[in-house]
Amino acid sequence: MKPSAPLAVIAGLTLALSVTGCTDPSVSATMKSIDSIGTVSIESKDAIDSANEQYDSLDKELKKEVENYEDLKSANKRYDQLLYSEITKEISHSQEILTSYFAQQFDTKEIEAAKSDAQAALDASDTDGYYKVYKALKKADKELDTFIKDEMKKSYSMETYGGDNPFRLEESDLPQEWLFSPIKMQTSAHPSLVASRKEATDLPTYIYLYINNSSRKYTYELNQIPTKAIKVQDENGKMKTALVNTEVKFTAAFNQAANNDLSKELNERPAYFFARAKDNAIVLALQNYDGEDYYVLYTSGN
């Protein structure tokens, strides 16, 4: 009689193989695909789509064997939440950049349509359409963003407020005490200093435009005007374009006989305030005093 031990070994091996072989390869591959999703982010689309496709391709009985299916459900839910949040941010960003002065010079039909489609998808909770509208709106936003940045680089001034006068400065933005000097040396016909002085509580603040170390008293008035492009000379002597909304008018105080100033007519021409794009510095632009067609810039610094 042959020993029975080898039969027991064979039976054990057969049982082990039957147990280990019960997981279908397609189920194992699906579970592995789900595990590979990891932490869900906006870049997880391909990994989640792949796992969904593999799971959907399984028949009903094999789907029951996918032990980490709840992880896949959670990943899908989290991804929809992330897309909703990102679409909401993009819609808000679209609304913001569409108010830019430079957006008026851009064909905004595409971004308006993409924004409308994105909002409609959110309103309808159309999770299947979230990714498509998100990508379309992000692309449209990026194109307008790029255009605005390129246009801003051409301007020496910067947008400071929204609305109809985006380059304006308010009275509260100006320094309490003026001490403006030219950013680039000019001829002696120009003011070398524009200063203010408050002499009494019941008197206005007086402005002094010193030419050859002499000046008479002026009062000033700010007016907000439609956006206007002026030619200015920067600190390197190069001609740039500044977009302005804030006009300042200087008026000689008292009558001309009592406040004689040979430069009165030149000083009383409209000037402009704006914020410099590179550093947000307050800039006063005075029309050139030598008759050249550009504005001379004055700041409290360089």
Residue 4 lies in a domain: no
Alpha helices, H only, the chain = 5-20, 25-35, 45-57, 60-63, 69-98, 109-123, 130-154, 264-267
d(CA 132, CA 130): 6
Residue finishing a domain among 154, 187, 212: 154
55 Cβ partners below 8 Å, 6+ apart?
30, 34, 63, 66, 69, 72
Q: Name the least confident of 82-86, 183-187, 259-263.
A: 259-263
Structure tokens at 204: 């206005």
Same domain, 175 and 84: no
* Domain-ending residue, one of 119, 154, 189: 154
Residue 220 covered by a domain: yes
Q: What is the pLDDT, as a whole number, of residue 23?
A: 81
- Give residue 192's domain range: 171-299
Query: Considering the chain, what percentage of its residues have pLDDT values greater than 70?
Result: 90
In a domain, residue 162? The reply is: no
Give the residue-averaged pLDDT of 42-67.
96
Predicted confidence band of residue 132 (pLDDT cuts 50, 70, 90): very high
Average pLDDT over residues 94-100: 93
| 150-198 confidence digits (pLDDT tens) | 998 899 999 999 888 999 999 999 999 999 999 999 999 999 999 999 9
pLDDT averaged over every residue in the chain: 91
In this structure, are 117 and 42 located in the same domain? yes
Q: What is the pLDDT of residue 258?
A: 59
12 part of a folded domain: no
In contact, 91 and 113? CB cutoff 8 Å? no
Same domain, 37 and 146: yes
Give the end of a domain, one of 96, 121, 154. Answer: 154
pTM of whole model > 0.85? Answer: no
Confirm whether 11 is domain-assigned: no
What was the pLDDT predicted at 253? 84
Q: Is residue 68 one of the residues assigned to a domain?
A: yes
| pLDDT at residue 279 greater than cutoff 70 | yes
Number of domains in the chain: 2
What's the gap between Cα 290 and its chain centre?
Answer: 40
